[in-house]
Amino acid sequence: MKYARFSALILFVALFTTLLFSDEGMWMPRQIPELKARLNSMGYKGDPKSFADLTGQPMGAVVSLGGCTASFVSAEGLIVTNHHCVTGGLQFNSTPNRNLMKDGYLAKTRAEELPNGPGSRVFVTTSVTEVTAAITGGIDAKATDRERYDLIDHRVKQRVAACEKGGQRCTVALYFDGLKYFEIAQLEIKDVRLVYSPADMIGRFGGETDNWRWPRHTGDWSFIRAYVGKDGKPAPFSKDNVPFHPKHWLKVSAEGIKPGDLVFVAGYPGRTQRHQTYSEVKETTEWRMPRAIRMAEEQLAILEQLAKQDKAIAIKVAGRLQGLNNGLTNQKGMLAGLVTGGSLAKKEAQERELQSWIAADPARQKKYGDVIPALRALQAEVEKTREQNGALLTLVSSSGYLGAAQSLYRLSVERAKADIDRDSGFQQRDWPRLRDGQDRLQRTMDSTADRALLRWALGHVAALPAGQRIQAVDKAAGLKPAMSKADAEKSIDAYLDRLYAGTRLADRDFRLGLLEKNTADLLATNDSFIVLAAALDPMEKTNREAMKNRAGAQSRYAPRYMEAMLAKSAGLVAPDANSTLRVTFGQVKGVDAQDGLYYKPQSTLAGIVKKHTGEGDFDAPKVQLDAIKALRSGRKTPYKDAALGDVPVNFLSTVDTTGGNSGSPTLNAKGELVGLLFDGTYESVASNFLFDPVTTRSIHVDARYMLWNMADVDGATNLLEEMSIKPASAH
């Protein structure tokens, strides 16, 4: 049976007879109406079809920032998201003498709103259309793996090009490992401005100490605004642009939530791996995650030391530090869940059950019997060169200079091809983004920090075994297998002296000028980092070709693996997260996190006072502590929770989320914004691989804490009035 015939069978309830009775599921909006019975059992009285209408309320108000989620909260293009999602904008506008990352920012007028930096975007999803038959239909079974890859890649690019003739940004995303394909059209707003962000020790209170932990007391919100040209169409930044007028925006509720309430989260979750094979998860557990943890810890040690020594460097590396710290805690928790939490063993048991189910029926054995062995073989092939490829990736990602050079060199090579033959990411549609990336790099580029990290990465390259060497680096830096550490460091330092003396890539105008050059002219600059990127490219090209061959093989086997899993299942199944719009729902609820420890579902201002030490991650601003004191002395506020006797700060819910959901609006049963999703608990992070309906919890900032701070701490009355929040202030 052809994959296209499973259109209704897989995504809708026709294949299934019962629903999952947990809160698992990052659901496609079109799947929500099929969950009506489950929602009704949780007390939902609305029409679930509203979540399937992407141009209606509330879904029309939910937007992507290209890594975080956000939502419109006024008719004037005002957008709310997480504080940590605007770090780049704060960093872009900061100097050692005006550190917005520390002090926060509030624009009292539209004229004071600041450009959020090159590459800032707001994406409004306008349509999602199934295109499975157009992408994978009619492929000759005798086609080679590479022929399959090239044909699918060509078809995807054709669909995207046709879709974008309408002036939107389009993608074709695969679901269920390629069993389904959907074309997604989005309005791309290019002028984004920073409006309001609280002080660092409100927006990031608790820092890395509390990261992924409960109880939390973090004010993780900020506001930006979308601007367009006077004709109402997306346009690059201009002082003449006007606020975008969305058709839909969310009402921010001052009434709040209580334990047991039903809540929805709509957003753009990044990636989950719940449908991966056991061999993939095993390799991640035994090699990728432990290595990622070591790499993060080593980089953090270098950057933290540099940040202590120089305020300017501290601003430059702040975003990287935050990302490394966040990822480190996440990876540690995920690894613990996979190993000691038993998720890896459960994944193995699931796959054994699937194999037994396939083997129990001759028809199933004929249809699916070759799939798992083939996928295991593909995974084994990847693992053969993982040390070499891991070191190469670390090398390029460690240095902004080398990363820029690699991107510029790849672009020069791809420019010579017909557009449809260019690799994704380097087509003409991508050139503005590549330019923005080179421009944006200026706010983080620092030669001292860059050299320190590249020196560290080269040390790992020098330590590679004989069969995994990166020959281009060995030749350039004078490295040899089994070289002593002291000799390797001496060669590396001498090479770094030459590298940084021979480059002009720190010059923004020079770097941007290279975007237009062909390969010969680019090499003629004789820039040392360009020369290194060119020397590395043959190896990277070999890796890219191998990846394309594997992807072709994956397109042959992975959809059938998913087909078997779905046919065996007994409920409507959500596809793995893939950075596309999803809806999840659950209840405000605490959890027995571990033996003898219960997490209450809400935290309050009292916890901020108790945690405040005046230093490190717990240095609440004096103006906020004074406002809390005034509240305790009798100042009235409409944002106090009667049952708690205090202003709520954060709350827990059972919704199913992951990275990319940061900033997602948390909605009550009426579709009103009652909070913002910003984190998960340490005990939950392994749910990316295997969802645990008992312990999984997500963390939200309560909208009432945001409104109280805006009214009584930061005086953001202009924004409260814009959102129709009354009374605007308790003063």
220 in active site: yes
Q: At residue 670, does pLDDT exceed 80?
A: yes
Where does residue 99 fall: left (phi above 0), alpha (psi -120 to 50 degrees), or beta otherwise? beta
Residue 140, Cβ density class (10 Å: 0-12 exposed, 13-18 middle, ≥19 buried): exposed
Residues 206-236: tens digit of each pLDDT: 999 999 999 999 999 999 999 999 999 999 9
Q: Range of 489's domain?
A: 364-569
Q: Which of 153, 177, 210, 220 is catalytic?
A: 220
C-alpha angle 18-22-28 in degrees, rounded to nearest 5: 75
To the nearest whole number, what is the mean pLDDT of the chain? 93
Residues 167-180: tens digit of each pLDDT: 899 999 999 999 99
What is the pLDDT, as a whole number, of residue 727?
A: 59
Q: Report if residue 85 sits inside a domain.
A: yes
| Residue 16: band (very low, low, confident or very high) from pLDDT cuts 50, 70, 90 | very low
Tell me how many domains the chain contains. Answer: 3
Based on the fold, state whether residues 520 and 411 are members of the same structural domain: yes
662 in active site: yes
Q: Report if residue 582 sits inside a domain.
A: no
Based on the fold, state whether residues 425 and 520 are members of the same structural domain: yes
Based on the fold, state whether residues 627 and 561 are members of the same structural domain: no
Q: Which of 74, 662, 664, 684 is catalytic?
A: 662
Q: Domain end: 251, 283, 299, which one?
A: 251
83 in active site: no
Sheet holding 673-680, edge to edge: 582-587, 262-267, 665-667, 673-680, 698-702, 648-653, 602-604
Based on the fold, state whether residues 564 and 655 are members of the same structural domain: no
Q: Angle 386-398/289-309 helices, nearest 10 degrees?
A: 20
Q: Which long-range contacts (CB under 8 A, 24 or more apart) does 165-169 make?
A: 167/233, 168/126, 169/123
Q: Which of 83, 84, 217, 700 is catalytic?
A: 84
Q: Domain end: 251, 273, 298, which one?
A: 251
Q: Report if residue 316 sits inside a domain.
A: no
| Residue 690: band (very low, low, confident or very high) from pLDDT cuts 50, 70, 90 | confident
Based on the fold, state whether residues 542 and 618 are members of the same structural domain: no
| Residue 6: band (very low, low, confident or very high) from pLDDT cuts 50, 70, 90 | very low
| Residue 21: band (very low, low, confident or very high) from pLDDT cuts 50, 70, 90 | very low
The Cβ of residue 724 has, within 10 Å, a number of other Cβ atoms equal to: 12
Residues 459-500: tens digit of each pLDDT: 999 999 999 999 999 999 999 999 999 999 999 999 999 999
Q: Report if residue 306 sits inside a domain.
A: no
Based on the fold, state whether residues 152 and 224 are members of the same structural domain: yes
